[in-house]
Amino acid sequence: MNTNIDTIAALCTAPGKAAISIVRVSGPGAFDVADAVFRGSGPKPSERTAGTFLHGFVHGADTIVDSEGQDLDEVILLLYRAPQSYTREDVVELQGHGGQAAARRILAAVLEAGARLAGPGEFTRRAFLNGRIDLVQAEAVMDLINAQSNRAANCAIDQLEGHLSSYIGDTYNKILSTAADLEAVLDFDDGELPTPILPEIMERLKSSMVSINAVLKTWEEGRLLREGAVVVIAGRPNVGKSSLLNRLLGSDRAIVTDVPGTTRDTVEETLIVHGVPMRLVDTAGLRDTDCRIEQEGITRTQGMLSRADLTLYLVDAAMGPVDDDIQQLEACDNSTTVLVANKCDLAANLLELRTGTWEIEAQVSAATGQGIERLTELMAERLGVSADDATGIYISERHRMGLLNAKKHCEAAIEQLGSEDEGLIVTAATELRSALEGLGEIIGKRYDTALLDRIFSRFCIGK
Ligand SMILES: Nc1nc2c(ncn2[C@@H]2O[C@H](COP(=O)(O)OP(=O)(O)OP(=O)(O)O)[C@@H](O)[C@H]2O)c(=O)[nH]1
Ligand SMILES: [Mg+2]
């Protein structure tokens, strides 16, 4: 452990009215800070054993303006001794009463006693630097805090428990031993190459590529689980976009009238489907208009359409797509657009319409709820979302970049080994070392301050 570090502190609970708030202190001076601010019966905190919790009061140091050593809050103090703590350092947690003032006063007293205010994610960063968790597990902490659904939380726990880390670690070790064997081949003189070993090395590399490709496939769904999907409801005025939003949400979120052009600004709300937060966006109806307010609304619709993971393009079931719809659809990406016919309760016959490449994929009635369940399933299907209870490994964008890097270098190594040019064995070995760097960066075998800053800046203060 690096002993040349300071003692940090932060409020770990959300500020505001609550039953309790927790100020956490971590570092070599944590117990000195506790001794300075805590008043209770019996020996001082620093003289207690780990795992003790003490009842007492936090008082301000005499130097704190206005406090003059007075009691600031009644607290429970928890003691953890290195390495048995979240950060693997000495840690003290002060549980006081919730609320803005009480928590702020405890934190002020702790800082006055010598601790420094922690930066975002600094406790978790220390847990990583002190070897308690790897980078992938550190990221899982934030995934868990950000999880919006049971399924996302389960996946984060899986990652925190090390499932993704072991997968990447195993692949790393496989390539490492292959690289070592390849480097051993280099010790042979030219013309004395034990050729049978090269095909075996190739096979092992191909098997590593299978592992890399398999986990790469989880990225898209992982992104949706973590960040959610933007699902835009678009179409001409009055086709029932706002009614569909309300029906999907099961609440009267957007204004519905029979006046075309009712919705001007975009209206957004989240619906969780199979654990994926879908940001449903109701938009202003698309048409030519002289009204400046409506024009601005339509500009916003176009903006949302360009950011959509999925577009539900609505048409009136009695009419099907009219020329204006076809024109709008021309600009849409077929793979991310679902053509939906609404108001099918009014249409005499269900549509069997195909317009060029466009086919009506869902027939619904926002008024009666007909077809809504099927539409929700279709949305999940088109976004590539699997069933509700599917958990396991789902990589993030950062993991994907490392894996793609490793994949590129493994592919190059396989190609070079396949060329049967002995001179290329050296280059192939170098490629494998680069592949290892890509994988090593994911779990944090290799890191620099910039990488850690990038990862932990997304954390909240106190975590
Ligand atoms: N019968 C029937 N009426 C519907 C259905 N969906 C919407 N409507 C009616 O159609 C009218 C327009 O509905 P909206 O949801 O406001 O339509 P919109 O597409 O949001 O319209 P703009 O905001 O103007 O673009 C309202 O009178 C709704 O009650 C449906 O499935 N069946
Ligand atoms: Mg509307």
Determine phi and psi for 48, rounding to 5 degrees. -95, 160
**Residues 318 and 405 placed together within one structural domain of the fold:** no
Domain holding 69, by residue range, is 8-118
**Residues 102 and 174 placed together within one structural domain of the fold:** no
* Residue 418 near ligand 1, beta carbon < 6 Å: no
Distance of CA 272 from the midpoint of ligand 1 (Å)? 24
**Residues 243 and 320 placed together within one structural domain of the fold:** yes
Q: Which of 252, 256, 258 to mutate to test the pocket of ligand 1 (most atoms within 8 A of CB)?
A: 256
**Residues 209 and 234 placed together within one structural domain of the fold:** no
pLDDT tens digits for 177-236?
999 999 888 777 666 665 678 889 999 999 999 999 999 999 999 999 999 999 999 999
CATH of the domain at 184: 1.20.120.430
| Per-residue pLDDT at 67 exceeds 70 | no
pLDDT tens digits for 143-192?
999 999 999 999 999 999 999 999 999 999 999 999 999 988 877 766 66
Distance of CA 40 from the midpoint of ligand 2 (Å)? 62
pLDDT value for 1: 44
pLDDT value for 190: 61
**Is position 203 within any domain?**
yes
**Residues 337 and 242 placed together within one structural domain of the fold:** yes
Distance of CA 456 from the midpoint of ligand 1 (Å)? 46
Mean pLDDT of the region 287-307: 93
Rounded-to-integer distance, Cα 62 and Cα 59, Å: 9
Rounded-to-integer distance, Cα 311 and Cα 297, Å: 17
Rounded-to-integer distance, Cα 431 and Cα 302, Å: 45
**Is position 456 within any domain?**
no
DSSP letters of 360-410? Answer: EEEE--TTT-TTHHHHHHHHHHHHT---TT--S----HHHHHHHHHHHHHH
**Is position 112 within any domain?**
yes
pLDDT tens digits for 408-442?
999 999 999 888 777 788 899 999 999 999 999 99
pTM above 0.75, yes or no: yes
**Is position 359 within any domain?**
yes
**Residues 173 and 270 placed together within one structural domain of the fold:** no
Residues with CB under 5 Å of ion ligand 2 are 241-242, 262-263
Q: How confident is the model at residue 261 (pLDDT cuts 50, 70, 90)?
A: very high
* Residue 239 near ligand 1, beta carbon < 6 Å: yes
**Closest among 278, 285, 280, 269 to 232, alpha carbons compared:** 280
Residue 411: partners with Cβ closer than 8 Å, 6 or more residues away: 209
**Is position 463 within any domain?**
no
Distance of CA 256 from the midpoint of ligand 1 (Å)? 6
Distance of CA 356 from the midpoint of ligand 2 (Å)? 27
How many domains would you assign to the chain?
A: 3
Single residue among 336, 357, 383 that ends a domain in this structure: 383
* Residue 363 near ligand 1, beta carbon < 6 Å: no
Ligand closest to 237 (CA) is 1
**Residues 211 and 189 placed together within one structural domain of the fold:** yes
CATH of the domain at 25: 3.30.1360.120
**Residues 13 and 91 placed together within one structural domain of the fold:** yes
**Residues 354 and 264 placed together within one structural domain of the fold:** yes
* Residue 372 near ligand 1, beta carbon < 6 Å: no
